[in-house]
Structure 1
Amino acid sequence: MKVRARFDAEVREGTLPDAPRANVERAGAVVRHVAPGLGWNGVLWSDLDAGTADAEIAAQVAFFAGRGCPEFEWKLYDYDRPADLGDRLRAAGFVPEPPETLMVGLVSELAKLPVDPPEGITLRVVTDEEGVDLMMRVHAGAFGRERPQIREQLLSSLREEPETIAAVLAMAGDIPVSAARMEMQPGLAFAGLWGGGTIPEWRGRGIYRLLVAHRARLAAELGITYLQVDATDDSRPILERLGFGVLGVTVPYIWTDGAS
């Protein structure tokens, strides 16, 4: 599959850091993302087989534990090899989170979606700490948990690399009811859509679709070819109706310090 191969080459194997002080390292048969503080740490790509997988998993656990990371993620895709890589990760102490569907849409088509907001809704572009804090309020209400690492990443990117992030709020008057962001890197064909959370009482009104359309228009202006989403079961049917296709399934495997 040509699109999936390009996704793997650019977004996984050839990825760039997602924050100003983060690094991407190729260590043998894996590509890992390493970040200080609350930044995201994890393995994005691997080229393993039955004979090398267990040793490589152990090497990455030793590396991140040696850095003092309280946790890191091994981002597994259902087409990764060996076929039992998930079982091997669990045996090494990783805990899987719910699976998400890897979906990709063509920007030239998505940019044609209507961007008229539902009645009572306006869009607010996020450029400062106040806007980021409003986004965090939305995410806490939509997803039921605080995400301090996302706040730190957003603030850092907006201050130091604003060309890599586009964040937006849907407002009902002075109340933030939905929030989303787009992450992109210069020269890459793919941009990622993240967040997309709406507080429960405002769901079902087309706000999620509006935020996808808004970011698709921006992606078109920036010359981006594809939009990529790790979709939950709730968002997958909406994205399919909007024109996104399925490339695979991804499962975050989380290793936590002290896991066994």
Structure 2
Amino acid sequence: MADITSLLAAYDEQMRGAPRNLPSGVIWEQDGPVIRVVGKFRGFVSGPRDVEVRGAELDRLIERQRDYFAARGEAVEWSAHGHDLPENLPDRLLAAGFVPEDQETILIATVSELPAEATPPDGVHLREVAAAPDLHRIAAMESTVWGKDMSWLGDDLIGRVTAAPDDTTVLVAEADGEVVSAAWMVVNTGTEFAGLWGGSTLPAWRGKGIYRALVAARTEIASARGIRYLQVDASDDSAPILRHLGFHAVGTTTPYVWTQP
């Protein structure tokens, strides 16, 4: 039986500090209790479980992040976790003009407890990629899946692979030369964790086990690297699959996003 409290404590301690393995051209800055990441397609703000400011002081902290990115002409995302303090942080973000996107479930698994045999369906082949053309093909596939321009993702992945080639593993699932799904793993250097990202699949290829195969392939790589935990911010679509594989829900996270009026 997993100790959810211990898993969440390890996540808070190891995954919520200064970001590692940032893409080239992306930096982080400390502003009081929070960290902001600058240089991505939109700004990103995160903090410890308790930012330790309240009331008007918390309002000023939030407004300062909003105004910083407004001056850059950029949107900004504040990642709020369901167990964060103060409990009225979401209300304060709303008051400052931030809008919540879909809530995600924080899932964590111990690598040694996960299946690590990658068996994609017939006609589908998994391949590790790092070249720019392949990473742009992934962005094109994601654009099709989500019905919006995701071209920025190709540049983001190129930046990640360039900055930390040993800690960033990108996999594609191909059928007849077409990218039908893709996923990547980013090792959080200096911790026991790696994060799993991606996993979007073209509609015609869903329900065939491709997502599970990509998880298993990354689990196998993580095991060889001696990584203890895998972590996912999971959508409602992927969370049931991951829980069936052995991941445990430890909490939730919601992106609160401010965009230029």
The answer to whether TM tops 0.5 is yes
Q: C-alpha separation between the residues in 2 aligned to 1:159 and 1:180? A: 17
Q: 2:76 aligns with which of 72, 78, 82?
A: 72
2:70 partner amino acid:
A
Question: In structure 2, the residue corresponding to 1:178 is in which secondary structure?
Answer: strand
Aligned-pair RMSD on alpha carbons?
1.6
2:59 equivalent to 1:61: no
1:61 partner amino acid:
R
Q: Which contiguous aligned blocks of 4+ residues in structure 1 show a shift greater than 3 angstroms?
A: none
For the 8 Å contact 1:189–1:226, the answer to whether it is kept is yes
Residue of structure 1 in register with 2:106 after alignment: 102
Question: In structure 2, the residue corresponding to 1:162 is in which secondary structure?
Answer: coil
2:222 equivalent to 1:214: no
Alpha-carbon spacing, 1:124–1:17, altered in 2? closer, same or farther (3 Å): closer
Residue of structure 2 in register with 1:157 after alignment: 160
2:186 partner amino acid:
E
Residue of structure 2 in register with 1:200 after alignment: 203
For the 8 Å contact 1:49–1:81, the answer to whether it is kept is no
1:191 partner amino acid:
A
The alignment-based identity, stated in percent, is: 38
For the 8 Å contact 2:141–2:181, the answer to whether it is kept is yes
Q: 1:169 aligns with which of 167, 172, 185?
A: 172
Q: C-alpha separation between the residues in 1 aligned to 2:88 and 2:176? A: 50
CA drift at 1:14: 3.7
Q: C-alpha separation between the residues in 2 aligned to 1:168 and 1:162? A: 13
Question: In structure 2, the residue corresponding to 1:194 is in which secondary structure?
Answer: strand
Residue of structure 2 in register with 1:142 after alignment: 145
CA drift at 1:76: 0.6
The number of residue pairs the alignment matches comes to 254
Superposed CA offset, 1:49-92 (max 9, x none) = 433321211121222223x0411110010111111211111110
2:36 equivalent to 1:32: yes
2:49 equivalent to 1:44: no
Question: In structure 2, the residue corresponding to 1:93 is in which secondary structure?
Answer: coil
Q: 1:81 aligns with which of 85, 101, 105?
A: 85
1:209 partner amino acid:
R
Tell me the TM-score normalized by structure 1: 0.92
Alpha-carbon spacing, 1:17–1:218, altered in 2? closer, same or farther (3 Å): closer
Q: C-alpha separation between the residues in 2 aligned to 1:202 and 1:170? A: 10
For the 8 Å contact 1:12–1:31, the answer to whether it is kept is no
Residue of structure 2 in register with 1:227 after alignment: 230
Q: Which consecutive unaligned segments of at least 5 residues does structure 1 have? A: none
Tell me the TM-score normalized by structure 2: 0.91
Residue of structure 2 in register with 1:121 after alignment: 124
For the 8 Å contact 1:178–1:198, the answer to whether it is kept is yes
Alpha-carbon spacing, 1:208–1:88, altered in 2? closer, same or farther (3 Å): same
For the 8 Å contact 1:17–1:24, the answer to whether it is kept is no
Q: C-alpha separation between the residues in 1 aligned to 2:147 and 2:192? A: 33
For the 8 Å contact 2:103–2:254, the answer to whether it is kept is yes
